[in-house]
Amino acid sequence: MLKIFEYLSSYCQEHKVISEGELALKISECVNTLSGADREEIASKFGGDPEELIFKSITSEEKLSVFSPDMHTRINYQGEIFYCLPTHRYLSGELEAAFLRWAEIRSPISALKSVVISFLERCGYQINEGGGEGEHLELIAVKNNNEHRSIHIFVLPSITFVPHFVDERQLEWPEAGEEVVIVVPTEKTPAPFISFFRGHDVSDAMIWVADVGKSTIDPFIGIPTDEAIEDNFANPEQARRAVSIWMQKMHFIEL
């Protein structure tokens, strides 16, 4: 237990702000390094599941050990729960960094890529990787039919990455006859999408939302010119109705 708490203390001190999901994942990784006998001993001694006990020790005032890190300060941000050191006056940048770090963990680019490729192949497209670096992936989708359609796709791990990504590229797209799509995953709540919708613009680009668990894609912003894409969205009418409601609310707020 001492080694686990030492590692987790170091991790908490390094990041200052950690999402509920990231903390649970790190605890699970630590507990999995223990032998079965050690896990049973902890469960017997403290009366519960080791991962749950350690999580509670870190995020509440019910400590298992004096060496347990203390992150009982709880923050709700963009629909996710975060914990921070009580003596640390967290900065908004650290909170945002924690959100983005968790977004990359829970929605890895590789999983999003698989959903996007499967979707576009159902729509009759051939896919080529266009590169990408760091936090995004680029794909080129081509349909060699009578109209020869081409889509340039950027896959990002969260809608919250989009403003910075667009600013960096300065919307230097598209090429003639090429549509541009930014694909992001679903979020725990609509909050990040509402925040994005209120304050950001992606010019003529479309935004699609991928549900990795269901392996589906729906529209968020923009309407594709290819009917095959529209036909393969999971719930296009429901998604567009949600966007319409948000637009009406934003118009009302502006008035």
- Residue 218 near residue 208, CB atoms below 8 Å: yes
Are the C-beta atoms of 208 and 243 separated by less than 8 Å? no
Question: What pLDDT is attached to residue 255?
Answer: 46
37 contacts 100 by C-beta, under 8 angstroms: no
| Distance in angstroms (rounded) separating the CA atoms of residues 136 and 134 | 6
pLDDT digits (tens, 9 = 90+) for 112-170: 999 999 999 999 999 988 666 557 889 999 988 766 788 999 999 899 888 888 877 65
- Per-residue model confidence as pLDDT tens digits over 35-86: 889 889 888 888 889 999 999 999 998 899 899 999 999 999 888 999 998 8
Least confident of 30-34, 180-184, 185-189, 243-247: 243-247
Q: Which of 163, 134, 138 is nearest to 151 (CA)?
A: 138
Side by side, the strands of the sheet bearing 178-185 are 126-131, 137-143, 149-155, 178-185, 206-211, 216-221
- 3-state class of 39 per DSSP? helix
Strands 178-185 and 149-155: parallel
As a whole number of angstroms, the distance between CA 88 and CA 103 comes to: 23
Distance CA 167, CA 83 (A): 30
Query: 160 CB contacts (<8 Å, ≥6 apart)?
Result: 78, 96, 99, 100, 103, 192, 195, 196
User: How many Cβ atoms are within 10 Å of 148's Cβ, its own excluded?
Assistant: 9
C-alpha angle 21-90-69 in degrees, rounded to nearest 5: 55
Q: How far apart are CA 6 and CA 13, in angstroms?
A: 11
Q: What is the pLDDT of residues 188-219, one digit of tens each?
A: 888 888 888 777 777 778 899 999 999 999 99
Instruction: Output the pTM of the full model.
Output: 0.79
Rounded CA separation 90/84 (Å): 7
Structure letter (DSSP) for residue 157: S
